[in-house]
Amino acid sequence: MGGEPAAAKPSIRKAAGHVLEATKSLAATSDRQDLVSRLEAAARKLQDPSITVLVVGEYKKGKSSLVNGLLGTKVCPVDDDVATSVPTRIGYAKEAGAAIVVRGADGAQRVERVPPQEIASYIVEHGRPSNGQPVESVVIGMPHPVLASGLVLIDTPGVGGLGSAHTAATMAVLPAAQAVLLVSDASQEYTAPEIEFLRTARELCPSVACVLTKIDLYPDWRRIVEFDRGHLSSAGIAAPFLPVSSALRDRALARKDQALNDESGYPGLGALIQKDVVDAGEQLAVRAAASDVLAVVSQLEMSVVSEARALKDPASTAQDVARMQEAKEEAARLRGMSARWQTTLGDGFADLNSDVDFDFRRRTRVIIQEAEDSIDESDPGPMWEEFDAWLKRRAAADVGENYALLAKGIEEIARSTAQHFEGSAELIDQAAGVSGPAEVLEGLGNVLAIASPKLSSLATHGVTAVKTAYSGFSMVGTLGRYAGLAMINPFSIGVGVLMAGQAVRDERKRALATRRQQAKAAVRKYIDDLTFQVGKDSRDIVRHAQRDLRDFFLERVDEMERTIGQAITSAQEAAKKGDAERQQRMKRVQEQAQHLVQIRKAAGALAPGLVPQPAA
């Protein structure tokens, strides 16, 4: 029955793998171990079929039911009284199994296998800790044909708001995901945090789709669809929108009712995932492999072409060698710190570091101002718990936006640096995948908690009132005795009561001012700790990304130098051969050239539009 992505089918990955293997054989024959290593790394990436889809949404919107509906079986626990509390990763395995990921006291992650029938207790709210260690995530493997294609579904925690720390952490892994499904239900239209999340996810992830659940429970769900599409249009977000019903899907599967299944909306969702995620992810993987093949073929062709010229016309060898020597010297200059690509890389990351730091500081100043305005307009004591939750959601949302700016900046630097190299189209595909570590926001949950200020006790107010009333009563009573009045008289009592009331009001004002001052100090302390943690993570990301890109392009420089050096040697050796030996060698060279042409054509068939011109 339709409604889920298609099961595994003969893949173009195999064809790409054969082309990689043929190219690697030629590189090994040419004594180019550096190119062999590059192709082996490309083959490892190609053999990993994982295509990650994040299922994200607010609390109790039907994410787990959606995952179950896509797979046509109950994998994630669903209950009205509980919610997913840790990320749940569901992927293919030959035998069903489950494991939990915990972090020990030393900070290291550890994987523990658990019985599949007990996995629900670790996924839901207040899941059982492992020997006192909180569960960070759950991994489920199952022999499902839909997952055999490499599809990996990640059911993220429902957190009661997309501005939460959990969702900010999700932002950090968006660049590594192939798709995001934002799940909302038909009870209400999109909220501002949902629109902001979609806008950020659209910049970081190749594919984003919107899923509206529970259409069977709300008769006016079509009105919500129109509202939501209007919000997407106003925000300039282009994303497919699919209404579904998990309840109808369950009934359709149980009854094997195709018409009911079509009504559930799952066939459209399954087709979308197959086309825009699974097939597109496979195409990207194959394109990356073809890119490496074409880059290697271009370098192998340089040696073959230079040798063929020398074999055909030995007299032109000196001129060709002189030209290639100049190219080799130019390649050597690319290694220097003054090379233009080094300057582009260094300046780009310096500017990015400054921009990201300024952006985050600007955001934190706005948060502090909004928080202090809220504190000045109310008593922070009774509403501190709500205020604390708002502050953390607000800060986490801005951290996510800041990280989006960082990830996008790294990609732009990779692309601009690649322009300094020939065949930059291939290099872009390799360099643009560099991203920061997924743990960028891990420290967000460990910042110092804000202590709730205590309200002044009734006893304190009572003591203040009694002391002030007694002072007023004694003062007026003593003066009254000189006027012939009794110590206790209505006037002295009234003055004492008035002074007591004023004292209590003054005490309350002082206590309120103190609470507000403490609240503002707590806010600034929280933001200061947050800035310190996120700033450190941000600088680490920049440093690692710059180092990775530098090493990537230096490897390309090494390859260029060795390729030109080998071409010079081949030409010089070919020019020294006799006529008979040159003719015999020419046949082998022509065979090599023909093999390279065939590989180039095969790579071009795998990734149309990526084929560069062969060496002249």
If you write DSSP's letter for every residue of 326-383 in order, what string do you get?
Answer: HHHHHHHHTTSTTSHHHHHHHHHHHHHHHHHHHHHHHHHHHHHHHHHHHHHTS-TTTT
Q: Residue 540 has what pLDDT?
A: 86
Tokens representing 274? 């197959």
The three-state secondary structure class of 109 is strand
- pLDDT tens for 524-540 read 888 888 888 888 888 88
Q: DSSP state, 176?
A: G
Question: What is the band of 599 on the pLDDT scale with cuts at 50, 70, 90?
Answer: very high
Which residues contact residue 264 at a Cβ distance below 8 angstroms, ignoring those fewer than 6 apart? 3, 69, 244, 245, 246, 248, 249, 252
Mean pLDDT calculated for residue range 91-114 = 82
Q: Residue 172 has what pLDDT?
A: 59
Q: Which amino acid is at 369?
A: Q
pLDDT exceeding 90 applies to what percent of the chain? 25
- pLDDT tens for 414-441 read 888 888 876 554 555 444 444 443 454 4
Question: Which of 146-150, 236-240, 478-482 is predicted least confidently?
Answer: 478-482
Query: Contact 151/11 with Cβ under 8 angstroms?
Result: no
How far is it, in rounded angstroms, from Cα 497 to Cα 39?
A: 90
How far is it, in rounded angstroms, from Cα 389 to Cα 164?
A: 9
Q: Residue 438 has what pLDDT?
A: 41
> Is a pLDDT exceeding 80 seen at residue 125?
no
> Is a pLDDT exceeding 50 seen at residue 8?
no
CA angle 494, 499, 504 (to 5 degrees): 125
Distances (CA, A) of 66 to 364, 526, 538, 581: 36, 37, 34, 70
CA angle 574, 579, 584 (to 5 degrees): 70
Mean pLDDT calculated for residue range 251-268 = 92
- pLDDT tens for 45-73 read 888 878 889 998 887 888 889 999 999 88
Alpha helices, H only, 377-432? 384-418, 424-431
Number of other residues whose CB lies within 10 A of the CB of residue 512: 17
> Is a pLDDT exceeding 80 seen at residue 4?
no
Q: Residue 453 has what pLDDT?
A: 44
Mean pLDDT calculated for residue range 179-208 = 87
Closest CA to 72 of 216, 259, 261, 211: 261
> Is a pLDDT exceeding 60 seen at residue 449?
no
Average pLDDT value for the chain: 79
Q: Residue 339 has what pLDDT?
A: 83
Q: Residue 456 has what pLDDT?
A: 45
Question: What is the band of 132 on the pLDDT scale with cuts at 50, 70, 90?
Answer: low
- pLDDT tens for 67-102 read 999 998 888 877 655 556 678 889 999 888 888 888
> Is a pLDDT exceeding 80 seen at residue 109?
no
If you write DSSP's letter for every residue of 239-306 in order, what string do you get?
Answer: --EEE--HHHHHHHHHHT-HHHHHHHTHHHHHHHIIIIIIIHHHHHHHHHHHHHHHHHHHHHHHHHHH
If you write DSSP's letter for every residue of 192-251 in order, what string do you get?
Answer: HHHHHHHHHHHHHSSEEEEEEE-TTT-TTHHHHHHHHHHHHHHTT----EEE--HHHHHH
Mean pLDDT calculated for residue range 313-318 = 85
Q: Which amino acid is at 223?
A: R
Number of other residues whose CB lies within 10 A of the CB of residue 115: 8
Q: Residue 434 has what pLDDT?
A: 43
Q: Residue 378 has what pLDDT?
A: 84
> Is a pLDDT exceeding 80 seen at residue 468?
no
Instruction: Kindly provide the residue ranges of all beta strands, DSSP E only, lying in 23-178, ordered along the sequence.
Output: 51-57, 88-92, 97-103, 109-114, 135-142, 151-155
> Is a pLDDT exceeding 70 seen at residue 463?
no
Q: Residue 494 has what pLDDT?
A: 55
Mean pLDDT calculated for residue range 139-159 = 84
> Is a pLDDT exceeding 70 seen at residue 444?
no
Mean pLDDT calculated for residue range 136-156 = 87
CA atoms 90, 91, 96, 102: torsion sign: negative
How far is it, in rounded angstroms, from Cα 598 to Cα 117?
A: 53
Q: Residue 448 has what pLDDT?
A: 39
Query: Contact 35/298 with Cβ under 8 angstroms?
Result: no
Which residue would you say has higher pLDDT here, 29 or 484? 29
Question: What is the band of 475 on the pLDDT scale with cuts at 50, 70, 90?
Answer: low
- pLDDT tens for 326-345 read 888 888 888 776 788 999 99
Q: Residue 297 has what pLDDT?
A: 92
Question: What is the band of 282 on the pLDDT scale with cuts at 50, 70, 90?
Answer: confident
Query: Contact 83/60 with Cβ under 8 angstroms?
Result: yes
